[in-house]
Amino acid sequence: MTKTMMLLGAAGLAVAASGALADTSGKRIALSNNYAGNSWRQAMLQTFEEVGGKAVEEGVVGAADAYTTSENQATEQAAQIQNMILQGYDAIILNAASPTALNGAVEEACNAGVTVVSFDGIVTAPCAWRIAVDFKQMGKEQVEYLATRLPEGGNLLEIRGLAGVFVDDEIHAGIEEGVAENGQFKIVGSVHGDWAQDVAQKAVAGVLPSLPEVVGVVTQGGDGYGAAQAFKAAGRDTPLIVLGNRQDEMQWWADQRDANGYETLSLSIAPGVASLAFWVAQQILDGAEVPKDLTVPFLKVTQDTLDEALETTPEGSVANTVYSLDDAKGVISGAM
């Protein structure tokens, strides 16, 4: 009893709320990922492998294995999930190609007794858990920021992500809402950059000749540097580009700031959300009561925090927050 009383600090309350009841040392967790073609996904996979690998070494779980489909196709990922069921995994954490097209496979997993935790690209199946930032607000906040910097408004270019994915739909909806509330802005062009700098650069370069003057670019992450390079190659003035926390674009931002005072905003979901999904799955397997929907803040870099973010972000990677078991317990406790 004395030991229990000693735990009743903030961390102890989180443990109590999460209700750990069972031994998970023999439980096996798998990551189903639909796409790995950009720096965010690579950082996400690395975070999962590091956190999951350490948990296996310490005997917290029996396995933490990551699988990525070769194509961003819901049918392929559904087959991957069905294979994980056959392999006997106890939990699947899922970054989904579609919010709805995987629901059948997810329900199949749930019916087989498999815990399913979706994150970033979430699913709508009622039996699954969901972890996401408020992507719609992330899109809207970009336009609100532009309104403070460009009060007279002007033409905007929108760079979207992977078509059909929950994240793309939500950020786009937020941008549309922001433009509707700030009528001084107008979207004059929209391209899909697939959250990748090279894809975004090519897409923007293709549409620029048909566009009038552009004062701002709203993005989804992994596309800001590519957009800047496309404007430069076209001989056009660099607009105010909202960035997405990638190291290469933050370095470009710092270089432009030092050269001419360039100022902008950068924001994205942290790829470390995979570590949060891992620990949430572990807690569910451990018998904890966990709400079906968990929301985490998006990670924001400002003019004042740019240098600090660059110092802690490896070259070619993304600004990140890695979640510990205690962090996960806190998120769960806060959502109860």
Please give the average per-residue pLDDT across 275-300, as a whole number: 96
Q: Is the pLDDT of residue 235 over 70?
A: yes
Residue 212 to residues 85, 150, 208: CA-CA distances in angstroms?
52, 17, 8
Residues 6+ apart with CB under 8 A from 281: 29, 91, 92, 93, 115, 117, 129
CATH superfamily, region 135-268: Response regulator (3.40.50.2300)
Q: Is the pLDDT of residue 71 over 90?
A: no
Q: Is the pLDDT of residue 13 over 70?
A: no
* Paired tokens of 194: 């697939």
Q: What span, in angstroms and rounded, lies between the C-alpha atoms of 124 and 126?
A: 6
Q: Is the pLDDT of residue 165 over 90?
A: no
* Paired tokens of 120: 């970033």
What are the phi and psi torsion angles at 228 (to 5°)? -60, -40
Confidence tier at 37 by pLDDT (50, 70, 90): confident
Please give the average per-residue pLDDT across 137-155, as a whole number: 97
The yes or no reply on domain 18-133+270-297+320-335 and CATH 1.10.3720.10 is no
Identical fold for domains 18-133+270-297+320-335 and 135-268, yes or no, is yes
Res 22: pLDDT: 62
Burial of 305-334, coded b for 16+ CB within 10 Å and e otherwise, reads: ebeebbeebeeebbbbbebebebbbbbbbe
Please give the average per-residue pLDDT across 157-185, as a whole number: 95
Q: Is the pLDDT of residue 12 over 90?
A: no
For the chain, the structural domain boundaries read 18-133+270-297+320-335, 135-268
Res 9: pLDDT: 35
Q: Is the pLDDT of residue 32 over 90?
A: yes
- Looking at the chain, which runs of residues are DSSP E strands? 28-33, 63-68, 91-95, 115-119, 129-132, 154-160, 185-192, 216-218, 240-241, 266-268, 293-295, 299-301
Given a contact cutoff of 8 angstroms between Cβ atoms, the answer to whether 193 and 163 are in contact is no
Res 257: pLDDT: 98
- Predicted model pTM: 0.85
Question: Of all residues in the chain, what percent carry a pLDDT higher than 70?
Answer: 93
Question: Of all residues in the chain, what percent carry a pLDDT higher than 90?
Answer: 86
- The closest of 34, 256, 318 to 164, measured between CA atoms, is 34
